[in-house]
Amino acid sequence: MRALPCVLTSLIAAVAAIAGGACDPYSPNLGYQPFRCGTDEPRCPDGYQCMEYSETEHLCEAGEPPDETPDAGDEELCNNDEAIEPNDTTSNAWSTPIPDFRTCVSLVSLAICPAGDKDLYRFRVDSAGKNLKAEVTANIGAGPLTLRVLNGSGAAVANGQAIDGDTLQLIFNNMAAGTYFVEVAAPEGVTNNYTIDIFTCDETSCMSTTTCST
């Protein structure tokens, strides 16, 4: 979760986290972590602006996140995801909008940093039988990451697998109702930047979804 280099500040000056589909103007307290703009108007919640950085990268932004300056002595530059930290245990996991406002969430500019860091994302299954797909994208050449789902007691119930050189995917079908956590971590001594997409749905066919749109 260490700070981002100043050259990337303009890209990461953003908010916490709901992506895809039209964003409802209910003005939740979303923090500063970037999230992708929706496809319909309004493309961002009230108070946030959809900024276009490329044909495929449109981010909802509002204000500047705290502490944008890299820590002194940094040997590598990690994304600044301080807006969702600390989130390294089940007790302080970052709460996704699933299922209260969205069935999916897409977060960018995250980091497992410093070494030993973990990122946990809380979500609920409100009715038995729902399915989950989580995908983490990172530069695996910079160091491997791990992807797991934990149950409400913190026990691992599913593990992600590499599906290509830079993507980990986890699919967990027919889930019981309850609280769960998606956990991103790394082996000892490894740090890396990443993005994450978490999808939930009623039909297994939606596991082919690649864009968070509802």
DSSP per-residue letters across 126-185 = -STTEEEEEEEEE-GGG---EEEEE-TTS-EEEE-EEEETTEEEEEEEEEPSEEEEEEEE
The tens digit of pLDDT for each residue in 11-64 reads: 333 333 333 333 333 334 555 566 778 777 888 877 787 877 667 767 777 665
Q: Report the pLDDT value the prediction gives residue 9, as an integer from 0 to 100.
A: 30
The whole-angstrom separation of Cα 87 and Cα 31 is: 14
Give me the residue spans of the domains in the chain. 6-208
| 2, pLDDT greater than 90 | no
pTM for the model: 0.68
The tens digit of pLDDT for each residue in 147-185 reads: 999 999 999 999 999 998 899 999 999 999 999 999 999
Please give the CATH topology (third level) of the domain spanning 6-208: Jelly Rolls (2.60.120)
The tens digit of pLDDT for each residue in 133-153 reads: 999 999 988 899 999 999 999
Average pLDDT, the chain: 79
Q: Which of 196, 188, 210 is nearest to 84 (CA)?
A: 196
